[in-house]
């Protein structure tokens, strides 16, 4: 009963039927489940042959998809981190029926993609549209009919809910996954075998409902905090570059680089100062790797190597922002002293 109540809650928040919500262990699992050519579609003109996706997609989409390499087409991003619709249209109009995977918002830069416009183009060509809404859900109005997606990928912990819960939401029964990842006892209407994590699922629904109820006021609050972070950065590094600054972005994400400052050194220094940041996706917090998203945006490799991502959430405060600014000032001062001594 608790699971079914949670299913009703999540479905209602995205404008779906409860029967079309499949709970998974994560957004990653949901992506692996749906990104397959084994989709049976009502009235479709042939099977799905190709997967078209943007170069900025989350690794669980790029690596988790179940298409062969020859069936994969990756779309470039413009300098603001958005896909170009004319390029997307040309790719979808190629040979063979297509699945389009396009995230609602990027997990590193926070840049919002034109999902509704892309979905309209894709559907005109008979394509199936999958939207990774993990970052978007709970931070912006996330309705299936508005996005135009056939499937949504969601995750609990991005909302402050428990880790270990996610969901794949279908817009209708017009598209059916014919090749589940996990087979067994038939849970989740046969799409995801295995005993459900009841506590995580219930927590997921509770966090989602809370986030939805406060989405407008929380968005304003997070934008103020994000701008506060930016002010702290430029106060000690006036030459700092913010990625995606000219595009619509989520209120909780700031991705920046200080030219000449190694992301690796900065991440380690801030970590020692008690501030958790990453040089890419938040799931890479404390790790350093060159961002595939920034490279796809055409950012020079030297600048991309300086990129750091900051993320805010429901528990973030003005005190956290000030604490970050103080830590950043100390770390940069130490780095500059060491450079001078060398």
Catalytic residues: 283
Q: What are phi and psi of 108, to 5 degrees?
A: -100, -45
Burial of 114 from C-beta contacts in 10 A (0-12 / 13-18 / 19+): middle
Closest CA to 7 of 141, 157, 201: 201
Q: Find the helix or strand (DSSP H, E) in which 86 lies.
A: helix 85-92
- Measured between alpha carbons, how far is 255 from 184 in angstroms, rounded to an integer? 42
- Measured between alpha carbons, how far is 100 from 92 in angstroms, rounded to an integer? 8
Closest CA to 292 of 136, 133, 159, 107: 107
Apex CA 252: angle with CA 212 and CA 104, to 5°? 70
> CB atoms < 10 A from the CB of 189, how many?
11
Query: What's the DSSP call for residue 261?
Result: -
Query: What's the DSSP call for residue 103?
Result: -
Closest CA to 36 of 192, 180, 194, 190: 180
- Measured between alpha carbons, how far is 283 from 263 in angstroms, rounded to an integer? 16
Residue pair 41/172 in contact (Cβ under 8 Å)? The answer is no
> CB atoms < 10 A from the CB of 328, how many?
25
Apex CA 338: angle with CA 334 and CA 342, to 5°? 170
Give the CA count within 13 Å in the CB-facing half-sphere of 95: 2
């Amino acid at each position: 009963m608790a699971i079914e109540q949670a299913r009703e809650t999540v479905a209602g928040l995205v404008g779906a039927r409860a029967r079309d919500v499949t709970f998974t262990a994560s957004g990653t699992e949901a992506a692996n489940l749906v990104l397959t050519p084994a989709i049976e579609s009502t009235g479709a003109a042939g099977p799905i042959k190709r997967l078209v996706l943007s170069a900025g997609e989350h690794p669980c989409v790029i690596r988790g998809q179940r298409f062969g390499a020859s069936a994969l087409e990756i779309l470039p991003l413009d300098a603001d981190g958005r896909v170009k619709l004319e390029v997307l249209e040309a790719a979808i109009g190629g040979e063979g029926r297509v699945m389009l995977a396009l995230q609602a918002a990027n997990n590193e830069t926070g840049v919002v993609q034109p999902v509704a416009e892309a979905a309209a183009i894709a559907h005109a060509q008979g394509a199936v549209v999958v939207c990774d809404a993990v970052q978007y859900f709970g931070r912006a109005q996330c309705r299936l009919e508005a996005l135009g997606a056939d499937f949504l990928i969601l995750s609990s912990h991005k909302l402050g809910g428990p880790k270990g819960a996610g969901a794949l939401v279908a817009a209708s029964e017009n598209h059916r996954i014919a090749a589940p990842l996990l087979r067994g006892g038939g849970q989740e209407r046969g799409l995801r075998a295995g005993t459900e994590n009841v506590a995580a699922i219930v927590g997921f629904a509770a966090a989602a409902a809370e986030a939805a109820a406060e989405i407008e006021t929380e968005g304003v609050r997070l934008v103020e905090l994000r701008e506060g972070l930016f002010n702290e950065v430029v106060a000690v590094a006036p030459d700092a570059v913010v990625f995606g600054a000219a595009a619509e972005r989520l209120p909780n994400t700031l991705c920046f680089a200080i030219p000449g400052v190694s992301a690796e050194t900065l991440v380690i220094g801030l970590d020692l100062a008690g501030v958790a940041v990453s040089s890419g996706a938040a799931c890479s917090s404390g790790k350093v790797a060159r961002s595939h998203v920034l490279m796809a945006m055409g950012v020079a490799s030297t600048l991309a190597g300086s990129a750091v991502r900051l993320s805010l959430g429901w528990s973030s405060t003005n005190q956290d922002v000030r604490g970050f600014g103080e830590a950043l000032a100390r770390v940069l001062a130490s780095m500059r002293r060491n450079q001078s001594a060398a």
